[in-house]
Amino acid sequence: MSSLDELLSRMWSDYVAIAPQAERIRALLGERGERIVNDHIALRGFDLPGVDIEALDREFVAAGYQAAQSYEFPDKHLLAYHYEHADQRRPRLFISALDVASLSSEAQAAIGALVAQVPAGAAAEPMFATSGRRWSIDHATYQRLRAESEYAAWLAAFGFRANHFTISVNHLTTFAGLAELDAFLTEQGFQLNQSGGEIKGSPAQLLEQSATLADEADVPMEDGTFRIPSCYVEFARRYRGADGRLFQGFIEGSAARLFESTDPR
C-alpha cells in the first residue's frame, strides 16, 4: 500500500467512526449492485501558520496532487482550493480554511489559544491531515465560536480530519440522476440538507450536488462530553461542457450551502 493509499484509508476509517451513516449508505447502494467511486474529500483548517491549507495539503502534493482552482466565501470567512491528481482514479480534494483575521477579536483570541497548543512542526508529521484535534477545548469556547462561525466551532471540536466524502453519481447505474438518488435516501430515513434547495447547482452549471445532514458524535471536552454534529455524506453529478470535457471544479454558491450540512439542527 502506498503512503497515499494509507493516508486515504486512515481518513476513511476516522471519518466513518463519527459518521456511521456513510457506511450505511454504501451498504444500501452495494445491495443494489452499485460500485462506489469517491468524487472528492473535503478538509478544513484555520488560515494560520502550521494549520492552514498548505499544512493540510503537504502530503497530498508530495503524492502528486496539484492545486487546480481557488474559491472565496466572504460571507462565511472562508477560502479554499480544489486539487486534482494526474491519476484520475484518485478523488479530488477540496481544502478550505477559515480567515481568522476577519473574525471578531474575541474569536481570534479563542482560536489563537487553541492553535498555540499545536506542537511546532506538527504539520510535517505523517497523517497530519487526519490527526484529529490537537488541542483542549471547553464547551463555552465551542459555543462562543459557534455563535460567530459554525465552521470555526466544528474545526475547534473535531480538528483535522475528513469533513465529508462524496459519492460520484456519474458512476451509479441504478439511478436516473441525483433527484432519484435523493428520493431513495429519503425513503431510507436519511435527512438531506435543504439549504438553497435539496439539489445545489444545475446541469447548466455542469455540477449538481446534494448532501445528508451530518451525523452526531459524542465529543469529549474539558468540562464534559457533548453530542454535536460531526460529518456528512455528499453526492455529486458532473456534466460535460461545450468542449466535451467533464467539469472538474466546484461552484462557490453551492459549496457555501453544503458547508451548512454540519450546522446544529
221-262 pLDDT tens trace: 999 999 999 999 999 999 999 999 999 999 999 999 999 999
Burial of 75 from C-beta contacts in 10 A (0-12 / 13-18 / 19+): exposed
Cα(169)–Cα(160) distance, integer angstroms = 27
pLDDT at 1 over 70: no
pLDDT at 196 over 80: yes
In this structure, the chain runs to a length of: 265
Residue 173 is given by DSSP the state S
The residues near 16 (Cβ < 8 Å, ≥ 6 apart) are 22, 23
**pLDDT tens track for 60-75:** 999 999 999 999 999 9
- 3-state class (DSSP) for residue 242: coil
**DSSP characters over 24-61:** HHHHHHHHTTPPP-EEEEEEEEESSTTSSHHHHHHHHH
- 3-state class (DSSP) for residue 240: strand
pLDDT value for 243: 96
Query: What average pLDDT does range 106-115 have in this prediction?
Result: 98
Cα(89)–Cα(167) distance, integer angstroms = 13
**pLDDT tens track for 142-195:** 999 999 999 999 999 999 999 999 999 999 999 999 999 999 999 999 999 999
CB 116 within 8 A of CB 9: no
CB 93 within 8 A of CB 83: yes
- How many other C-beta atoms lie within 10 A of the C-beta of residue 168? 18
pLDDT at 38 over 70: yes
Cα(242)–Cα(227) distance, integer angstroms = 47
Query: What average pLDDT does range 13-18 have in this prediction?
Result: 97
pLDDT value for 29: 98
- 3-state class (DSSP) for residue 213: coil
**pLDDT tens track for 74-95:** 999 999 999 999 998 999 999 9
Q: What are the structural domains of the chain?
A: 3-262 (3.10.180.50)
pLDDT at 205 over 90: yes
Residue 201 is given by DSSP the state E
Reading the block at residue 247, the C-alpha cell is 467539469
Residue 260 is given by DSSP the state G
